[in-house]
Amino acid sequence: MKPHLFLFALVIASSCTRVYFEQPQPKGGKALTSFPEHLRGAYIADEDTFHIKANEFTYTEFFDRSITLAEINSSPFITIQDSLIFDKSSLDKNGWRFRNSDDTLHYRVKLRVRHILSDTLVLKTYDHFLVLNEREDKKDFWNTYLIEKFKNGDISIWSVGNFKTETNHDKKIKYEAELKDFYRVTEFKKIGDDEYLINPSLKEFKKLMKNGFFTKADTFRLISNR
DSSP track, the chain? ---SSEEEE----TTS-EEEESSSSSTTPPPBSS--GGG-EEEEETTEEEEE-SSEEEEEEEEEEEEEHHHHHH-SSEEEETTEEEETTSS--S-B--EEETTEEEEEEEEEEEEE-BTTEEEEEETTEEEEEEEPTTSS-EEEEEEEE-TTS-EEEEEE--EE-TT---TTS--SEEGGGGTTTS-EEEEETTEEEE---HHHHHHHHHTT-EEEEEEEEEEE--
The model's pLDDT over 86-138, given as tens digits with 9 standing for 90+, comes to 999 998 888 999 999 999 999 999 888 899 999 999 999 999 999 999 998 87
pTM metric for this prediction: 0.82
Give the residues of the chain that fall short of pLDDT 50: 1-4, 6, 8-15
Q: What is the pLDDT of residue 193?
A: 84
